[in-house]
Amino acid sequence: MKSDIAFVHAPSIYDFRRRPLKEGPIGDVVPSTPLFEMYPVGFVSMLNHALEEGFSGRISNLAVLMLSDDTFDVERYLKGVDADIYGIDLHWLPHVHGAFNVAKVIKRIHPDKKVVFGGFSSSYFAEEILAANEAVDYVLAGDLLEKQMNSLIDAVQRESNLEGVPNLVYRRNGRIVRNPPLKDPDPTAAEFINYQILVKNSIKYHDVKGHLPYYSWITNPTGMTLVQHGCQLNCGFCGGSNFAYKNHYNYISPLRRDPSRVAEEIEVVKETINSPVFIAGDLNLMGEKYYTTLFEEIKNRGIDLPLLTEYFAPPGEDYFHTFSKYVPQFMCEISPDSSNQKIRSETGRYYSNSELEKSIDTARKYGSRKFDVYFSIGLPLQRKSDVLDDTDYLEKLIASHG
Ligand code: SF4
């Protein structure tokens, strides 16, 4: 069945089934496998907005399809995905190999159709991508691109001038041109992470696996929403930091989402898949007014789903007290990255181990069902001995606060 747009998600390494891979460690509790088969929620929101405006569209999670079946034939499948535009996410850099290889395959199979890249890495490297990759026609640079994607579909279908497509980077007369970003007084208005459309689309296109957000979603589903775009902090390694976001993707960072909209998305998860929901963004850092409004919205809508929440700094008593009043089941996670506070502050996080431990204890006191704590390797100043110290610290942390 033909569609106006197909959002295609590649595995991090395109030919992972044929080459011996030494995968780097990622947390066991992260739903995605090392092939990073989880597509960005922006796919769901852009698809939703395209459908709202009368376009047709689908998601093709190639990574899940390839992981599910060793004999899955990518080229045969893509021949059956007939669209005017193929949108490929290159958000974080691990997807470089997969994204470019899938673009080449699509262009070979559908030479007259357009391939557009999007995501933070694509936005940052847009000119370089277009200069070196004939298989990529456009990059939609920036964040919150629902309206811009619809403008692009419209322009491609009408074969009209691309100058009117905000945020678009493209080739014109042998040059690479970057259109100005959309001047939008309400940039989050068109964003809606609507899981209902995944269910409907799976049936419409007879493609359940192609729409799955990640490999184990059927057995271990989790919905997702986010409270902000960009971030309050400036961790040195982060392409989505406050500095990176406002200098490369949008002019405001963090850009807060309407709490009613967030609650509405959680309600859709309840009605559609009735699963836990991961809320991206630090609710505590959003401030008391914001999080209290959101919690009230959640309670007033009768939502009792477990909420998985992330924190960029350890929250205190007031926050957990309020959270537990409104939300019956919640879990927490935080990434101190290193148990060595000097290394941690070098990455841009300025809290102590005792503040972390106190927060874990407080969360438990108020009913948090678990508190996941993430550590990383490859940090500035970090040596092998520091990583080994982390494992000792983790054992102590679990023994005394687990
Ligand atoms: S807290 Fe997370 S999102 Fe924010 S800058 Fe640090 S790593 Fe990036």
Check which CATH number belongs to the domain holding 257 and give it: 3.20.20.70
Nearest atom (ligand 1) to Cα of 241: 5
Looking at the fold, whether 263 and 138 belong to one and the same domain comes out as no
Closest CA to 231 of 216, 211, 249: 249
Final residue belonging to a domain, choices 178, 193, 208: 178
**Is 334 near ligand 1, meaning CB less than 6 Å away?**
no
Test site for ligand 1: of 120, 312, 346, most ligand atoms within 8 A of the Cβ: 312
In short, whether 241's Cβ falls inside 6 Å of ligand 1 is yes
> In sequence order, what are the residues at sequence separation of 6 or more whose Cβ sits closer than 8 angstroms to the Cβ of residue 140?
87, 116, 117, 118, 122, 148, 149, 152, 167, 168, 169
Do residues 382 and 238 share a domain?
Answer: yes
Residue 297 parent element (H or E): helix 288-300
3 lines ligand 1 (CB under 6 A): no
Point out the ligand 1 atom lying closest to the alpha carbon of residue 232: 4
pLDDT value of position 31: 77
Q: Is 231 in the pocket of ligand 1 (CB under 6 A)?
A: yes
Same domain, 168 and 228: no
242-281: b (≥16 Cβ within 10 Å) or e: bebbbebbbeebbbbbbbebbbbbbbbbbebbebbbbbeb
Q: Tell how far the Cα of 232 is from the centroid of ligand 1, in angstroms.
A: 8
Please give the number of the atom of ligand 1 that sits closest to the Cα of 231.
4
**Number of domains within the chain:** 2
Answer yes or no: is 209 within a domain: no
Residue closest to 354 by CA, chosen among 394, 314, 317, 310: 314
Please check whether residue 157 lies inside any domain of the structure.
yes
For ligand 1, pick from 92, 228, 231 the residue to mutate: most ligand atoms within 8 Å of CB: 231
Same domain, 379 and 283: yes
Distance 281 CA to ligand 1 centre (A): 9
Q: Is residue 197 part of a domain?
A: no
Same domain, 287 and 170: no
156 pocket-lining for ligand 1 (C-beta < 6 Å): no
Do the beta carbons of residue 169 and residue 202 sit within 8 Å? no
For residue 32, tell me if it sits in a domain. yes
Does residue 134 sit in the same domain as residue 270?
Answer: no
Peptide bond into 254 cis (omega under 30): yes
Inside any domain, residue 77 = yes
Q: Which atom of ligand 1 is nearest to the CA of 348?
A: 6
Which of 349, 351, 338 has the alpha carbon at shortest distance from 381? Answer: 338
Q: Are residues 21 and 159 in the same domain?
A: yes
Nearest CA to ligand 1 atom 1: 312
Q: Are residues 276 and 148 in the same domain?
A: no
Assign residue 12 the CATH number of its domain: 3.40.50.2300
Regarding whether 312 and 385 lie in a shared domain, the answer is yes
- Relative to the CA of 234, which ligand 1 atom is closest? 5
ipTM: 0.99
pLDDT of residue 27: 65
Same domain for 171 and 228, yes or no, is no
Give residue 259's domain range.
221-401
Percent of the chain with pLDDT strictly greater than 90: 94
Instruction: Specify whether 243 is located in the same domain as 383.
Output: yes
- Say what the pLDDT of residue 393 is: 97
Which position has the token pair 């066991």?
A: 28
Per-residue pLDDT of the chain (402 residues; tens, 9 = 90+): 899 999 999 999 999 999 888 777 676 667 788 889 999 999 999 999 999 999 999 999 999 999 999 999 999 999 999 999 999 999 999 899 999 999 999 999 999 999 999 999 999 999 999 999 999 999 999 999 999 999 999 999 999 999 999 999 999 999 999 999 999 999 999 999 999 999 999 999 999 999 999 999 999 999 999 999 999 999 988 999 999 999 999 989 999 999 999 999 999 999 999 999 999 999 999 999 999 999 999 999 999 999 999 999 999 999 999 999 999 999 999 999 999 999 999 999 999 999 999 999 999 999 999 999 999 999 999 999 999 999 999 999 999 987
DSSP state of 284: G
**For position 33, what pLDDT does the model report?**
85
281 lies in some domain:
yes
Task: Please report the DSSP string for 145-201 in residue order.
Answer: -HHHHHHHHHHHHHT--GGGSTTEEEEETTEEEEPPPP--SSTTTT----THHHHHH
235 shares a domain with 351:
yes
Whether 194 is in a domain gets the answer: no
Nearest-atom number in ligand 1 for the CA of 282 is 1
Is 43 part of any domain? yes
